[in-house]
Amino acid sequence: MVTIINFEKRQSKSGKEFHALILQGGIEMVRSAETGQFYATVKRCSIPSTLDEKSCEAMIGEKLDGKIEKVSCEPYEYVVQDTGEVIELSHRWSYVPSSQSVSMPSFSIIISDSIFWSSIASSLLSFRLTRANFS
C-alpha cells in the first residue's frame, strides 16, 4: 500500500500546468553500508494527475494498492537538498499498482445446455470469491 501524502503544481514540456500526486510507501528497515546499523526509511515518488487543486487536497491521506519500486533509467544529475552535492543517478522510483485481475484466455464455444452454463457461472463466481479472499 502507498499513501498520497501531498501534491505539487508542475508544468509540462508544452507549458501546460498540471498537478502531480506525491506517493509514499510504508516504512522499511535498511542496513547502512558504512556502519552496518539499521535505519528506517520510506520510498517516495510522484505521478501526474488530471485533478484540480481541490481534488488533490481531498486525496491526501488516501491509500492505493501497489508499491514503489526502483526502475533503471538514463543517468541524470540530482542535487542532494541537505548538502547541495550534485550526484549522478541511473534509477528513479516508480509507482507500480497491484494486479487486480487475472488474465484469462479468450475463446468462443457454442453450447445450448443451460445446466452447463449454470455450472460454468457458479465455478467462475466461486473462483472470484476465493481469489478475493487472498488479495
Q: How many domains does the chain have?
A: 1
The answer as to whether 125 is a domain residue is: no
Q: Tell whether 112 is covered by a domain.
A: no
| Model pLDDT, residue 116 | 46
Of 60, 1, 56, the closest CA to residue 25 belongs to 1
What's the pLDDT score for residue 46? Answer: 96
Quickly list H helices, 45-113. Answer: 53-59
Q: Does residue 32 form part of some domain?
A: yes
**Whether this model's pTM surpasses 0.75:** no
Residue 103: inside a domain: no
Which domain, by its residues, includes 56? 2-97
Q: Rg of the chain over CA atoms, in angstroms?
A: 22
| Domain annotation covers residue 117 | no
Please check whether residue 127 lies inside any domain of the structure: no
**Is 79 within a domain?**
yes
Distance CA 24, CA 68 (A): 8
Provide the residue-wise pLDDT of the chain in tens; the chain has 135 residues. Answer: 999 999 999 999 999 999 999 999 999 999 998 899 999 999 999 999 999 999 999 999 999 999 999 999 999 999 988 899 999 999 999 999 987 433 344 443 444 444 544 555 555 555 554 444 454
